[in-house]
């Protein structure tokens, strides 16, 4: 598996990076770090300090809207944009693309969101002869939860807008019921001669579709966020001079901004947090 080299498409797309966040947390510091070390623009923190949210997008501007506490960015920003342009080229422009879960939740099974969802593009036997027979997933009880996922899924089910789902995990890898789909491969596993161990990069790969998702979303259980961090590129190469230099730059001048354009420094958000030195693990947030 070799992560493809892609031309820099970041300048061809007018995009705003939005993260709903009212206050900080160590997990957000890790998320922000993974974004900045992969050259994402500083995110705009929606509702930071419970500030009033005004209209954020200009006409014809795209938005990348991500959760704050359980998202990692494992590939450079230019790769996400390039893959997004490829997906929208295939499905039509002005397209909203959402990550795919294995279960229609928290919507009711008979709702528009669940009944009208399009068939996955993966083969029917992608998981072997028992694909789609896991009753613990397909018939799990629906909780009375009001969430952004519920409302957006309902809009998708009503098919009022130009929306599609990233079934191949080419953009977003969601983790609910999907941790076992992930394998970690070094970037030269199929090349010869192999790189020296210090030069090898490790990536989380969807073993079903073969995709290397730019974004990992740990919705559902959070234990993998604790266990997988040491496997990720930035942790494995934390002593590499280039990574050290970039990390120091993030700690010194990394930033985000509020919806009214106010600058928020790394120190304001994360104080002296070291992303490779987490507090005692708790399966929370």
| Spatial distance between the Cα atoms of 165 and 119, rounded to a whole number of angstroms | 10
Whole-number Å distance between alpha carbons of 215 and 76 = 10
The number of folded domains in the chain is 1
Position 141 scores a pLDDT of 47
Residue 193 lies in a domain: yes
What angle in degrees, to the nearest 10, is found between the helix axes of 241-253 and 26-37?
Answer: 120
Q: How do beta strands 263-265 and 255-258 pair?
A: antiparallel
pLDDT of residue 45: 93
Task: Flag whether 105 is in a domain.
Answer: no
pTM of the model: 0.86
Give domain status of residue 182, yes or no: yes
Domain that holds residue 23: 13-100+167-270
Query: In whole angstroms, what is the distance from residue 25 CA to residue 275 CA?
Result: 11
Q: Within a domain: residue 231?
A: yes
DSSP 219: -
The SS3 call for residue 150 is: helix
3-state percent breakdown (helix, strand, coil) of the chain, nearest 5: 30, 15, 50
185 in a structural domain: yes
For residue 80, being part of any structural domain is answered with: yes
Q: Is residue 242 part of a domain?
A: yes
**Residue 7 within any structural domain of the chain:** no
* pLDDT < 70 positions in the chain: 1-12, 50-56, 91-93, 130, 133-148, 160, 189-192, 196-199, 280-285
The helix or strand, by DSSP H or E, that contains position 88, with its residue range, turns out to be helix 77-91
Contact predicate 13/58, CB 8 Å: no
Query: For residue 139, what pLDDT is reported?
Result: 42
């Amino acid at each position: 598996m070799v992560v493809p080299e892609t031309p820099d498409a970041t300048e061809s797309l007018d995009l705003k990076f939005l993260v709903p966040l009212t206050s900080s947390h160590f997990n957000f510091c890790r998320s922000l770090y993974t974004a900045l070390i992969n050259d994402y623009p500083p995110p705009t923190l929606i509702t930071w300090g419970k500030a009033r949210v005004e209209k954020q997008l200009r006409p014809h501007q795209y938005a990348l809207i991500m959760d704050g506490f359980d998202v990692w960015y494992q590939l450079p920003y230019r790769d996400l944009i390039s893959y997004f342009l490829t997906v929208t080229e295939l499905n039509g422009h002005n397209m909203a693309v959402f990550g795919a879960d294995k279960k229609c939740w928290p919507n009711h099974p008979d709702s528009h969101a669940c009944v009208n969802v399009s068939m996955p593009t993966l083969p029917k036997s992608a998981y072997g002869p028992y694909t789609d027979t896991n009753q613990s997933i397909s018939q799990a009880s629906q909780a009375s939860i009001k969430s952004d996922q519920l409302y957006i899924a309902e809009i998708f089910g009503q098919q009022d807008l130009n929306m599609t789902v990233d079934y191949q995990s080419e953009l977003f890898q969601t983790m609910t019921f999907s941790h076992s789909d992930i394998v970690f491969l070094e970037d030269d596993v199929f090349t010869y001669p192999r790189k020296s161990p210090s030069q090898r990069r490790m990536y989380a790969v969807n073993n079903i579709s073969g995709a290397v998702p730019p974004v990992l979303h740990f919705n559902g259980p959070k234990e993998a966020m604790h266990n997988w961090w040491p496997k990720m590129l930035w942790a494995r190469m934390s002593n590499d001079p280039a990574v050290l230099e970039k990390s120091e730059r993030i700690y010194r001048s990394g930033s985000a901004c509020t919806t009214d354009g106010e600058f928020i420094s790394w120190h304001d958000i994360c104080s002296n947090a070291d992303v490779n030195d987490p507090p005692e693990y708790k399966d929370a947030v």
